[in-house]
Structure 1
Amino acid sequence: MDSLLIYIGFAITVFTGFFAITNPIANLPVYMSIVEKANEEQKKEAKRKAVTVAFFIVLAFVILGKIIFSLFGLTIPAFKIAGGILIFLAGVDMVRSRDSNDDIEDEKKNRFDPNVAISPLATPLMAGPGSIVTAMTFVSGRGWIEMGIVIAMFGVICLLHFVIFRMSGLIIRRLGKNVIGVIGRIMGLIITVIGVGMVINGFELLIDF
């Protein structure tokens, strides 16, 4: 029973981390801008392709994470500290309302390009450096059960992206862009806290290493 509660708590932490770093609600204006020139069928295909590609990108890094650690001689404490710093900086950018997707506007063209489902929608919008670092940090030094939980939680995040993108018009009308901006700042604050926690945990591991 105690182990089940531990796994549930870990799953909630992982989901919160992924939700904060990917922020599906704050990504709505970016998504709508990218698919502005697309028809309904193209939008459906873009959503399906984007969430699928994003999921398999993170899946690959989660599964190959141990190999990458061995190949480059990385240590868990070092990765946690570096990953925590990167996540912290990403959160600070969000709190300060800096748009990490400024270059995404350059992807807009007079005619819709289906490749935008892969880039920039799948990566870096959904499966960017922040998501990859978060995933690898959560699985570093953990077993297969935790790895499965991380994969499952990112799958839930991908599904959530699909649903929110599908309801994009309704959500924008109900919430408004100002509310979405506030949500982005709150998510940024959560990310900074997660990043600090990872750095602290990394130093604790380093002391015991």
Structure 2
Amino acid sequence: MIESFLTAFIVYFVVIDPIGTAPIFVAVTGHQDRSGKVRTAIEATIVATLIMLFFAICGSWVLHYLKIGEPAFKIAGGLILFLVAWEMLNSKRQTRKKIETTNQSLEKGLFKASAANHQDKDQESVAIFPLAIPLLAGPAAVTSVMVISADFNSSFTMILTGYAALLAVMLATGAILALTGLAENMIDARLSNVFSRVTAIILAGLSVQFIVDGLMVLGVIKAPIL
């Protein structure tokens, strides 16, 4: 069970990527004071957690309704997660996140100075978009939640293990973003980049394993002899 927890934890942590999201968090909350940044981090984390818990609980029903088999979804999810890992290895994912966030934020006027009586409303807006969606609970994160949930549905204990891993990662994410708001000057972009690349290698290996598991269930390949 510990091994399963660690596997799910690593996948969620790498895909949600709170370390890589931290510099973007600083950019989109630049107009807020420290307490506002902490509140924004907490609100964004809560919203993202609720979204991913929804897909973790209802994901199998969605697949059943769409008549998508779990092996096929594992293979598709593994391919998507591998592409995410590839982007992270080439430093493309964080760059793309920054570009998308900047463009979307400029369109909504999130970087404009706001009056004091509009600060709470603006804070809530930033917490939901673009922080919770799509930076934290993006397509890759939702896919990973559904893949892990499908893989961990063999017993009630395994299901709880998957939920525990997700909640642990989201707690860590909220803590990292909140600390970022308190000590944004201590963020080293180079260190964040190195960490993202190292964890991307782990994600690449896990994504390939998802694909292999799906192919084995379909009978395309035989189980390897370890």
Match of 1:198 in 2: 210
Q: Distance in 2 between matches of 1:116 and 1:184?
A: 24
Q: CA deviation at 1:92?
A: 0.4
SS of 1:47's partner is: helix
Match of 2:102 in 1: 105
Q: Distance in 2 between matches of 1:117 and 1:191?
A: 27
Q: Distance in 2 between matches of 1:31 and 1:205?
A: 41
> TM-score normalized by structure 2?
0.83
Unpaired segments ≥5 residues, structure 1: 1-6
Q: Distance in 2 between matches of 1:178 and 1:110?
A: 28
Closer/same/farther in 2, CA of residues 195 and 181 from structure 1, 3 Å limit: same
Tell me the amino acid that sits aligned with residue 126 of structure 1: L
Instruction: Choose from 22, 27, 49 the match for 1:33.
Output: 27
Structure with bigger gyration radius: 2
Closer/same/farther in 2, CA of residues 184 and 171 from structure 1, 3 Å limit: farther
Unpaired segments ≥5 residues, structure 2: 115-121, 221-226
Q: What is the root-mean-square deviation of aligned Cα atoms in Å?
A: 1.9
Q: Distance in 2 between matches of 1:19 and 1:12?
A: 10
Tell me the amino acid that sits aligned with residue 189 of structure 1: I
Tell me the amino acid that sits aligned with residue 139 of structure 1: S
SS of 1:36's partner is: coil
SS of 1:38's partner is: coil
Q: CA deviation at 1:170?
A: 3.7
1:56 is the counterpart of 2:47: no
Task: Tell me the percent identity.
Answer: 25
> TM-score normalized by structure 1?
0.90
Q: CA deviation at 1:150?
A: 1.6
Q: Is the 2:38–2:177 contact (alpha carbons within 8 Å) kept by the matching residues of 1? A: no
Q: Distance in 2 between matches of 1:66 and 1:177?
A: 38
Q: Distance in 2 between matches of 1:122 and 1:9?
A: 28
Instruction: Render the CA deviation track for 1:99-131: whole Å, top value 9, x for unaligned.
Output: 231211121421363211011111221111111
Q: CA deviation at 1:171?
A: 6.9
Q: Distance in 2 between matches of 1:91 and 1:119?
A: 24
Q: Distance in 2 between matches of 1:63 and 1:33?
A: 33
Aligned residues: 202
